[in-house]
Amino acid sequence: MLYYALVFLVVALIAGVLGFGGIAGASASIAQVLFFLFLILFVVSLIMRVMRRT
């Protein structure tokens, strides 16, 4: 999932450099959503791991 966030970030950067504002904005939004989703799932997995060890 983090891979897809990075891919959309790269697409947003390339589209921004080339002047495609709409595509850059959409790709940046998708990358941001995927990154935060990855962070949430990572924190949940850490909490579950700690809870399982006790």
pLDDT at residue number 5: 79
No. of helices (H) and no. of strands (E), the chain: 2, 0
Cα–Cα dist 42/40, whole Å: 5
Identify which has the larger pLDDT, 3 or 40.
Answer: 40
22-52 pLDDT, tens digit each: 888 888 888 899 889 999 999 999 999 999 9
Q: Hey, what are 31's tokens?
A: 């990358």
